[in-house]
């Protein structure tokens, strides 16, 4: 059994060189001013380490866990973790990783989404030791005069030089002025909490650097920046709630195990490095095994982190029995979902059912399900996973 559960609490700041080296390298894409950050870590000074998450979805997923686990690494060394829930920035919307304009969300949607965020983050972090802030505390009162001072630190050329913005402009797509404001808001978060370090994905680089610029404006020492790699979701694209290709921290143990087992083999090592804390020497050994065995160990490690060892073992047993008893064939037919396509449209297009009438009958009998969850409305948007239609028909939707 792969078990790597451990206590998060640290009575003082640790300067363990091996742990610091892994902190600065495991799953890390870039550290801006790495030598300076390493010096600060070795000094024993307690750093304020910031991570901001916008509640644009009710669920945190494994893509988010990459940064939360890195935050936990800092926490285990005794540093002060500052988790900012972007109840204001979430309304405005960040398009750093988007190829089209992200719509504004209502404050009501944001408030509904963030209800369980601290509980979900608590699956990884020791929330008793976390400083949780909401950025509406300071952003809602920013005046036009202050906004002008902040905006003066950046040029339009810097903003449009970003890859996704440049592509949209080249393609003739709209880029709103609102989108220019987002980096200022995220940057000002760093000023408000006096961050020494900010974490973010590679797609956040511009926003993270904005924090350094604004801290200099407000005569603060510019923060160190650590970016982590992005991981792919169930369909091979970047894991994102907007695409529905996620493994959520709130998934049941069985669903989580099954989703990990559906990952492409080439993602096994990446997931071990980024979404678990299995020692890297052990990961190298596991990767020498058969991919099926390696993936099973990955699923156990991931599920154990969020549900415990017993639940992980039960999920493994259920998954194994499902296949060994022939309840689900190993070679399930696959189909790629089109954007906005309904369950009915996908099942009909795949040939899994002969007609809409047959599908309605199966639905009435409760014989259509997704990963064990009965489908009640075939007009709902199709999701990723394995659909069971009747007793012996299966379809994997990617």
> What would the pLDDT profile of 195-213 be if each residue is shown by its tens digit?
999 999 999 999 999 999 9
The answer to whether residue 6 scores a pLDDT higher than 60 is no
Sheet with 28-32: list strands edge to edge: 28-32, 224-228, 197-201, 48-53, 80-85, 130-134
Average pLDDT of the residues in 311-317: 94
Q: How far is CA 42 from the centre of its chain?
A: 29
Q: Could you give the CA distance from residue 6 to residue 264 in angstroms, rounded to a whole number?
A: 29
> What would the pLDDT profile of 11-47 be if each residue is shown by its tens digit?
589 999 999 999 999 999 999 999 999 999 999 999 9
Residue found by looking up tokens 């904005």 in the block:
210
Residue found by looking up tokens 């686990």 in the block:
69
Average pLDDT of the residues in 241-267: 90
Average pLDDT of the residues in 227-241: 91
Query: Given this model, what pLDDT does residue 97 score?
Result: 60
What is the average pLDDT score of the chain?
Answer: 89
The burial class, CB within 10 Å (0-12 / 13-18 / 19+), for 180 is middle
CATH topology of domain 17-238: Rossmann fold (3.40.50)
The answer to whether residue 1 scores a pLDDT higher than 60 is no
Reference 64, options 306, 261, 339, 370; nearest CA is 306
Average pLDDT of the residues in 358-382: 84
Compare 5 and 178 and report the one with higher pLDDT.
178
Q: Could you give the CA distance from residue 377 to residue 379 in angstroms, rounded to a whole number?
A: 5
Query: Given this model, what pLDDT does residue 312 score?
Result: 97
The domain 334-397: what is its CATH number?
3.10.290.10
The burial class, CB within 10 Å (0-12 / 13-18 / 19+), for 345 is middle
Residue found by looking up tokens 């399930």 in the block:
332
Band of pLDDT at residue 9, cut at 50, 70 and 90: very low
Asked if 83 and 125 touch (Cβ cutoff 8 Å), the reply is yes
Angle at the Cα of 287 from the Cα atoms of 284 and 293, rounded to 5 degrees: 135
Band of pLDDT at residue 7, cut at 50, 70 and 90: very low
Q: Which two tokens stand for residue 239?
A: 């894991």
> What would the pLDDT profile of 61-83 be if each residue is shown by its tens digit?
999 999 999 999 999 999 999 99
End-to-end CA distance of the chain: 30
- Domain 253-324 class in CATH: mainly alpha
Strands 334-335 and 393-397 turn out to be parallel
Put simply, whether the predicted model's pTM sits higher than 0.85 gets the answer no
Average pLDDT of the residues in 223-235: 95
Domain boundaries, the chain: 17-238, 253-324, 334-397
Q: How far is CA 169 from CA 33, 92, 311, in A?
A: 32, 20, 49
């Amino acid at each position: 059994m792969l078990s790597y559960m451990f206590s998060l609490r640290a009575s003082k700041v640790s300067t363990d060189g091996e742990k610091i080296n892994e902190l600065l390298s495991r799953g890390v894409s870039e550290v801006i001013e790495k030598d300076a950050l390493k010096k600060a870590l070795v000094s024993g000074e307690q750093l304020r380490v910031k991570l901001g998450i916008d509640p644009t979805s009710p669920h945190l997923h494994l893509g988010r866990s990459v940064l939360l686990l890195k935050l936990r690494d800092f926490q285990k060394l005794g540093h002060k973790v500052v988790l900012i829930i972007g109840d204001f920035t979430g309304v405005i919307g960040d398009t750093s990783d988007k190829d089209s304009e992200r719509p504004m969300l209502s404050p009501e949607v944001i408030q509904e989404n963030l209800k369980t965020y601290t509980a979900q983050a608590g699956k990884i972090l020791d929330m008793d030791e976390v400083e949780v802030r909401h950025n509406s505390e300071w952003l809602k009162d920013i005046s036009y005069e202050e906004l002008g001072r902040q905006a003066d630190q950046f040029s339009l050329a810097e903003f449009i030089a970003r890859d996704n913005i440049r592509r949209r402009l080249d393609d003739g797509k709209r880029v709103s002025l609102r989108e220019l404001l987002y980096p200022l808001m995220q940057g000002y978060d760093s000023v408000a909490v006096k961050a020494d370090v900010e974490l973010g994905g590679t797609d956040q680089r511009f926003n993270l650097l904005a924090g350094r610029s604004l801290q200099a404006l407000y005569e603060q020492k510019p923060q160190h920046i650590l970016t982590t790699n992005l991981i792919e979701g169930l369909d091979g694209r970047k894991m994102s709630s907007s695409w529905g290709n996620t493994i959520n921290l709130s998934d049941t143990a069985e669903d989580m195990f099954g989703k990990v087992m559906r990952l492409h083999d080439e993602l096994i090592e990446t997931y071990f490095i980024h979404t678990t804390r299995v020692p890297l020497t052990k990961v190298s050994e596991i990767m020498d095994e058969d991919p099926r065995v390696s993936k099973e160990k990955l699923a156990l490690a991931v599920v154990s982190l969020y549900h415990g060892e017993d639940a992980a073992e039960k999920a493994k047993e259920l998954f194994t029995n499902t296949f060994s008893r022939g309840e689900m064939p190993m070679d399930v037919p696959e189909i790629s979902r089109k954007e906005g396509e309904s369950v009915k449209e996908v099942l009909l297009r795949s040939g899994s059912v002969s007609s809409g009438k047959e599908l309605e009958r199966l639905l009435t009998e409760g014989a259509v399900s997704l990963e064990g969850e009965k489908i009640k409305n075939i007009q709902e948007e199709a999701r990723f996973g394995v659909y069971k239609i009747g007793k012996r028909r299966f379809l994997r939707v990617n």
